[in-house]
Structure 1
Amino acid sequence: MTISHLFLWLTAAIWGLAFVAQSVGMESIGPYTFNAVRFTLAALSMLPLAYLLERHRKSDFGLTLKAGMMTGLVLFSGATLQQIGLLYTSTANAGFITAMYMLFVPIIGLFLKHTIERHTWLGIFLALGGLYFLTIGPNLTIQKGDGLELIGAIFWAVHVLLIGFYSRKVPIISYSIVQFVVVALLSWILAFSAEQPTWHGIQLSWLPLLYTGVASSALAFSLQILGQKNVSPSAAALILSTEAVFAAIGGWWLMNEVLSILELMGCVLIFIGMIISQWPRQTRATKPVL
């Protein structure tokens, strides 16, 4: 294992354990307030990176602003649904269902005239079977929290596609900061409209907020950039997909969450589906034209 692989493993662990922090953090404040403070801290923590890495880069400010605002609206939807969903479901469920975004990306890509390879279809079907075991209860009903996380996963998939489209056109860190500011502003509006945020409540949740606002944004973002420099995209995706596993481990270790046999089976099928869909494929070498 190289240092680049280690950086990616650390990124996956930080993101996975963030589900625990998100759940624990809502013991003193509501979901909108949590996201408002979290993404405010995230935007602030990214400013030094923007200064260090992008201060000399020439870019289209208008395009960066437009891209960040559009992507920020999608990020706000996904983050809000995820945060509210954690009020009604376990961190393991939230982690594995959210990770389904990796499989929703190629499905949404069909509407953009992309093609899906056979191994990806196999991964999708396995994950859907796992989703059934993980979330579907008696009378074919889905729990409220799991349903919110599933809808949120669709927004996360759209978010990935938007980032893939804009990341080569605008400076990525400045682009991320605009997204975070959009999410923070919208969350503050909802927090003051639907909740009663207090400084005391925020102080009680300072550690989860600091973790999700700084560690899972600026720190994890930096580790991801460093890690992906020397690791293939497919291998990086495989490592980062273990975020869901770290979420389940964190829920069991720190919150005493226990999964049933069917739920464990569902998690395993979803994880296998993600692995199969992201597994690197060797391409045949083409004969050079002389």
Structure 2
Amino acid sequence: MKKQELKSNILLLITAAIWGLAFVAQKVGAEYIGPFAFNGIRFALGGISLIPLLLYFSKTQNQTINNCNKKYTFIIAGIITGCVLFLGASLQQIGLNYTSAGKAAFITGLYMVFVPIISIFFKKNIPLTIWVSVVMTAIGLYFLSIKENFSISQGDLLEIIGALFWALHILAIDYFIKKIDALKLSFVQTLTCSILSIIASLIFEKTAISSIYSALIPILYGGIFSVGIAYTLQIVGQKHARPSHAAIILSMESVFATLGGMILLNEHLQLREYLGCFLMLSGMLLSQVSNFNNTKTVKE
């Protein structure tokens, strides 16, 4: 392995760790502030943290993308993806009120499997390995979330529905990223998600300043670290990393979320739930490696 490639892999591993621990931050934040208020402030900070990147990379912007922007404006694209992002992020944050950070991370990772399945409707060929991964993750999800009486907790169900919207978000990004500058798209969609979350918070929640102060550290982590810093590390890391390696490393965020929940929140899973995590992670890795070259992923 080349030295540059090793550095890229390390950066991607740090990115996965930041995203994994973000589930812990979101879980803690949910104890003090409503899900819409948390996401509203978090994504606002995330959007602001992207401004320096916008100013820096605008100097080296691709001319082809500039030409395409005349037809496909990044504002419209950002609003569309931002609406889908709002739905996914809202369901994820609400679900964390009723489930653990580790389980939420693994279930959210189902978007890696949902993406190729949804692609069937766009007449894309699905390799056999994807169907194997679907079976593995389905069995894993059963052990992780389905109880002996074949019921599922409210939190896990919300995370599953949220994973579907994360998959739709990935597909929307995959469509627009060929025509729109990635950072501009990310900036607009982040602010769109923030605005929608704040509006929802004003309608459905009552948020006190003291509550925001109590959740300040999780909010800062979720906004600046998870969006601004991790997004930068992902861009730099994937520049020299092999796609298959990047897929495997970034998928480790679920593991970091589980470890973070155990160490910081004293969360523990049962043996059958650990087995479910193992099967889901194996299935997600298989689907991600098989599908990586066909679908770009942009994580928020």
The alignment's TM-score, normalised by the length of structure 1, stands at: 0.94
The whole-number CA distance in structure 2 between the counterparts of 1:15 and 1:98 is 12
Does 2:59 correspond to 1:51?
no
Written as runs of structure 1 = structure 2, the 5 A alignment for 1:80-229 is: 80-229=90-239
Give unmatched runs, 5+ long, in structure 1: 282-290
The whole-number CA distance in structure 2 between the counterparts of 1:216 and 1:55 is 25
1:121 shift after superposition:
1.1
Distance 1:137 1:206, change over 3 A: same
The whole-number CA distance in structure 2 between the counterparts of 1:181 and 1:161 is 19
Query: Which one-letter code corresponds to 2:31 in the other structure?
Result: E
The whole-number CA distance in structure 1 between the counterparts of 2:157 and 2:117 is 19
Give unmatched runs, 5+ long, in structure 2: 292-300
Residue 15 of structure 2: which of 8, 11, 15 is its match? 11
1:148 shift after superposition:
0.3
Equivalence for 1:247: 257
Query: Which one-letter code corresponds to 1:276 in the other structure?
Result: L
The whole-number CA distance in structure 2 between the counterparts of 1:34 and 1:208 is 9
Q: 1:54·1:171 contact (CA, 8 Å) conserved in 2? A: no
Q: 2:130·2:290 contact (CA, 8 Å) conserved in 1? A: no
Query: Which one-letter code corresponds to 2:30 in the other structure?
Result: M
The whole-number CA distance in structure 1 between the counterparts of 2:257 and 2:247 is 17
Query: Which one-letter code corresponds to 1:46 in the other structure?
Result: L
Identity of aligned residues (%): 46
Q: 2:113·2:288 contact (CA, 8 Å) conserved in 1? A: no
> C-alpha deviations, 1:26-63, integer Å up to 9, x for none?
22111111001001101111111101112564632761
The whole-number CA distance in structure 1 between the counterparts of 2:222 and 2:154 is 24
Deviates more, 1:167-176 or 1:57-66: 57-66
> C-alpha deviations, 1:253-286, integer Å up to 9, x for none?
10000100111110010011122223469xxxxx
Query: Which one-letter code corresponds to 1:19 in the other structure?
Result: F
Pairwise CA RMSD: 1.5
Query: Which one-letter code corresponds to 1:229 in the other structure?
Result: K
The whole-number CA distance in structure 1 between the counterparts of 2:50 and 2:59 is 13
Equivalence for 1:285: none
SS at match of 1:139: coil
Q: 1:96·1:267 contact (CA, 8 Å) conserved in 2? A: yes
Equivalence for 2:241: 231
The whole-number CA distance in structure 2 between the counterparts of 1:92 and 1:217 is 19
The whole-number CA distance in structure 2 between the counterparts of 1:242 and 1:260 is 20
Equivalence for 1:287: none
> C-alpha deviations, 1:171-228, integer Å up to 9, x for none?
1111111101111111111111111112221111111111110101010011001111
> C-alpha deviations, 1:236-263, integer Å up to 9, x for none?
1111111101110000010000100111
Distance 1:55 1:192, change over 3 A: farther
1:139 shift after superposition:
2.5
Q: 2:144·2:272 contact (CA, 8 Å) conserved in 1? A: yes
Does 2:45 correspond to 1:41?
yes
The whole-number CA distance in structure 2 between the counterparts of 1:180 and 1:276 is 29
> C-alpha deviations, 1:64-86, integer Å up to 9, x for none?
01110000010000000000000
Equivalence for 1:74: 84
The whole-number CA distance in structure 1 between the counterparts of 2:14 and 2:60 is 29
The alignment's TM-score, normalised by the length of structure 2, stands at: 0.90
Equivalent pairs counted in the alignment come to 281
Q: 1:235·1:280 contact (CA, 8 Å) conserved in 2? A: no
The whole-number CA distance in structure 2 between the counterparts of 1:149 and 1:13 is 20
Query: Which one-letter code corresponds to 1:101 in the other structure?
Result: Y
The whole-number CA distance in structure 2 between the counterparts of 1:201 and 1:248 is 26
